[in-house]
Amino acid sequence: MALELGYTADYHVHLRQDKMMKLVTPTVKQGGVSIAYIMPNLVPPITSLDQVVKYKQELEQECDSTTFLMTFYLSQELTPELVEEAALKKAIRGIKCYPAGVTTNSNAGVDPNDFSQFYPIFEVMQKHGLVLNLHGEKPSTSNGDGKDIHVLNAEPEFLPALFKLHADFPKLKIVLEHCTTKAAVDAIHEINKDLKQGEQPNVVASITAHHLYLIVDDWAGNPINFCKPVAKLPDDKRALIAAATSGKPYFIFGSDSAPHDVRKKAVHTGVCAGVYTQPFAIAYLAEVFESQGKLDKLKDFVSTFGNAFYTMDESKLRSKQKCWLVPKESVVAQTVSTQDLSVVPFRPGAKLKYSVEWR
């Protein structure tokens, strides 16, 4: 039986630039997503009104039914005044914070040990309801005097910074993006432990599709499964599946779909981090939700909770069609390609039980 999923939203999307943008932007709709929240880690990063307006226009030219929500890249370039102007003009919906050096195009990022220089910006964000999107990892270090940080504990070690931010800005809307550990899931539960039925959370976590499938073994030797944060242990994966299917309003879908040309994946060193899930996003999720007997929670995860958190105004949608999940097999493409580019999607060749339709 077909399942109506509403105005589906992916609150963490990388659509890149130029040829890659043209290739992957139409796959947002193909994957069953109506609303795409767009990451700003372009080259150069998006830190001005002109950039964000121009980028949105470019994206809108590639697909006339996808609604694009835009973001700034948190960096020294931003000022409280600029952020306020962007908020008032509704040019952006949030600001993405990358710790320096942890993933693709994060070199302009910040030091997660000290957010205080950005507090004037966070004040403005809190005032205007802008969302702070946190890449929640500490940069790796094992040569200093302090504690070792590596790709496996980088997220748990970031969590105290999340608690501090929330304590300092209790009304600021914060997303712990693409969380990958039981520790992160537990932290989000802890922050929301007193949330009453029907009340809106201020701190939520986004969860990707691929982290519901992968553990460390799956990216060891398989660059197409390598992303940041890296997939962790079986216990972590089980905690993520439980969170995504929990029906709790503080776990929302953000695919972190991150396309790279296969020539940047099939290299012996310096593999680009990112898993590309966009063209089959909802079908990947449906497979997992069904395996847990929780298909009835899928709409919450991919529409209701995220749209409520982001106070998505349905009157602003570019299309009023809703996504329907239909019990019709889809086969993941081996590649998504043009003449110049070839991106290998997650689980190439896999048979998925579901497809999506727009009605």
Q: Is residue 231 classed exposed, middle or buried when 0-12, 13-18 and 19+ CB atoms within 10 A define those classes?
A: buried
Nearer to a second copy, 118 or 276 (CB): 276
Q: Residues 92, 212, 224, 323: which binds a second copy (CB under 8 A)? A: 224
Candidate segments 62-70, 124-132, 169-177, 227-235, binder of a second copy by CB under 8 A: 227-235
Give the integer Cα–Cα distance in Å for 288 and 186: 21
- Residue closer to a second copy (CB basis): 48 or 140: 140
Does residue 81 touch a second copy according to CB under 8 A? no
Please name which of 159, 149, 151 lies closest in space to residue 182, comparing C-alpha atoms: 159
Binding letters toward a second copy, positions 271-310, x by CB under 8 A: xxx-------------------------------------
Nearer to a second copy, 230 or 312 (CB): 230
Fill in the per-residue mask, 21 to 50: x = in contact with a second copy (CB under 8 A), - = not in contact.
------------------------------
Residue with Cβ nearer a second copy (170 or 234): 234
Report the C-alpha gap between 329 and 352 in whole angstroms: 6
Q: Does 219 bind a second copy (CB under 8 A)?
A: yes
Residue 151 binds a second copy (CB under 8 A)? yes
Whether the Cβ atoms of residue 277 and residue 36 lie closer than 8 Å to each other:
no
Member of 2, 152, 242, 317 binding a second copy (CB under 8 A) = 152
Smallest gap from Cβ 96 to a second copy, in A, equals 21
Contacts of a second copy in 235-254 (CB under 8 A): 235, 237
Tell me if 142 contacts a second copy by CB under 8 A: yes
**Residue of 265, 294, 297, 299 that binds a second copy (CB under 8 A):** 265
| Per-residue contact string for residues 316-355; x = within reach of a second copy by CB under 8 A | ----------------------------x-----------
- Measured CA to CA, the distance from residue 99 to residue 101 in angstroms comes to 6
Q: Tell me the backbone φ, ψ of residue 12, rounded to 5 degrees.
A: -165, 95
146 sits near a second copy (criterion: CB under 8 A):
no
**256 vs 300 by CB, closer to a second copy:** 256
Q: How far is the CB of 246 from a second copy (least distance, A)?
A: 21
* Token reading at 248: 């709790």
| Binding residues vs a second copy (CB under 8 A) | 140, 142, 148, 150-152, 215-217, 219-226, 230, 233-235, 237, 262, 265-273, 344
